[in-house]
Structure 1
Amino acid sequence: MQLTKRLVLTATALAAVTAGTLLTATAGQAATAQRPAHPGVDAPAALKVPDGNRLTGVFSAAGVQTYTCTDGAWKLLEPAATLWARNDGSRRTVALHSRGPVWVSTVDGSAVNAAAIANSPKTGTIPELLLQSTATRGTGMFADVSYIQRLNTHGGVAPTTACTGTDQVGVPYSATYAFYKPAK
């Protein structure tokens, strides 16, 4: 039964990501037009990537932060987002982001797991983060990723209302993810 519940949740999260991506496309386009070419350069001091790493990819993302009711309070269960790249004015999906946290390339199957090591709170939205890789898989775009920054966050904050039982809710969010690898 737990597996069935997890599969239903994943399907619900993916549906929410798709809906969130469609609903936030215009806002994401506006945010992209205002974003610097290398967001890591403008990251808060707490989120700076250590020297010896180079920026290898910057992708816009839209999805949901899924919260579940635990002991009467909303707790983060999992993110579910689609990352995309812009080429000649069009969007191309390049990765999916989910619980772990993990990012899996839809282009080459490579993946990176990471853990947050620093955050920079923002009013009215989920915090910006610096994450350090805990594992990578494959030889593609996420091979050897060392650090990830979550920047330009919008939305995704847990509800402030009370919850009961096993309530769950997906809150739309958008962000920019910057990926770094060791400089060679």
Structure 2
Amino acid sequence: MNKNLPAAGLTIACLALLSACSGMKDHMAMDKPFMQDALPDAVKVPAGHQVAVQTVGVGQITYECKAKADMPGSFAWVFVGPQADLLSRGGAKLGTYFGPPATWASSDGSKVTGTQLAVAPAGAGNIPFQLVKANPAMGVGAMTGITHIQRVATQGGVAPTSPCDSTAAGRKEVVKYQADYIFWKAA
């Protein structure tokens, strides 16, 4: 025992530490309840689920200029994949999002992949809202039991507006984006 700290003070300090630790159910904790009422029906999570984790994805999406398979001589910007940090509302890094395949990985080592169920427009210049059905988690941690992932509050991320033609074929461009990723579990 530390002789400079009275026994009562040590007990209070230990209780405070235990109390703080008990509130850390998982490191990807919710900040405030998420309400999906204002979202288009196509991207709403079905009844019987509850929010488990809320994150803000901040990163970039890579696109590549490629020839269109069904239209010889035509080219288009094609989605290559995302790379983003998953942050708490306070800015602490909780994990990453990358792909393909679309993968959400927690800093605790658990991760999920998913299959897109639906998208809905999110406004000009923004990638669409999205609803994903999560595959069973790999590893044990914050992603264990996740059933659905919603992408909402999107900003940016759409394909480049620069020319994509035969002279640009194969060129890649990176576009910044931000979106909230809401993770759901069965209630």
Q: TM-score range by the shorter chain?
A: 0.7 to 0.9
Conserved in 2, the CA contact under 8 Å of 1:39 and 1:151? Answer: no
Return 5+ residue gaps in structure 1 as ranges.
1-35
Return 5+ residue gaps in structure 2 as ranges.
1-31, 68-74
Per the TM alignment, residue 74 of structure 1 is displaced from its structure 2 partner at its CA by 0.5
- The CA deviation string for residues 61-115 of structure 1, in whole angstroms up to 9 with x for no partner, is 11011101111210000011001113xxx42100100001001111x10001011
Per the TM alignment, residue 39 of structure 1 is displaced from its structure 2 partner at its CA by 4.3
Partner of 1:118: 118
Partner of 1:134: 135
Partner of 2:61: 65
Partner of 1:43: 39
- The CA deviation string for residues 109-168 of structure 1, in whole angstroms up to 9 with x for no partner, is 000101111111122210010111124211100012100000000000101332222101
Partner of 1:174: 178
- The CA deviation string for residues 26-50 of structure 1, in whole angstroms up to 9 with x for no partner, is xxxxxxxxxx841434322111101
Conserved in 1, the CA contact under 8 Å of 2:33 and 2:51? Answer: no
1:76 aligned to 2:72? no
| TM-score after normalising by structure 2 | 0.73
Percent pairwise identity: 33
Structure with bigger helix share is 1
Partner of 2:50: 54
In the alignment, the residues of structure 2 paired with residue 149 and residue 112 of structure 1 have an alpha-carbon distance, to the nearest angstrom, of 13
- The CA deviation string for residues 7-26 of structure 1, in whole angstroms up to 9 with x for no partner, is xxxxxxxxxxxxxxxxxxxx
Taking the TM superposition and a 5 Å limit, the aligned residue runs for 1:8-47 are 37-47=33-43
- The CA RMSD over aligned residues, in Å, is 1.7
Larger radius of gyration: 2
Conserved in 2, the CA contact under 8 Å of 1:40 and 1:178? Answer: no
Q: Report the count of equivalent residues.
A: 145
Partner of 1:4: none
In the alignment, the residues of structure 1 paired with residue 36 and residue 112 of structure 2 have an alpha-carbon distance, to the nearest angstrom, of 18
Structure with bigger strand share is 1
